[in-house]
Amino acid sequence: AKRTELYKQAQHLLKDAVPMTPIAHSTVYQPMRTSVQDFKISPFGLNSFYGVSVTGK
């Protein structure tokens, strides 16, 4: 019961302090070959190829 009350208080504080509250997010799928190593998908759509390598072939 105490934890529930604390979560309610936190939700009210967040609602009052933040001009916009995210209520959902999307899942991003990006197909690539299995030979591509260490590629990280950016949540902002900006691809960085630093540290990416291609194995085999």
- Residue-level pLDDT at 18: 78
User: How many angstroms separate the first and last alpha carbons of the chain?
Assistant: 59
Provide block-wise average pLDDT over 10 residues at a time, the chain (57 residues): 92 83 76 90 84 88
How many structural domains comprise the chain?
Answer: 1
Q: Has this prediction a pTM greater than 0.75? A: no
- In angstroms, the CA 40 to CA 19 distance is 30
Tokens of 46: 């900006």
Range of the domain at 25: 2-54
pLDDT at 1: 86
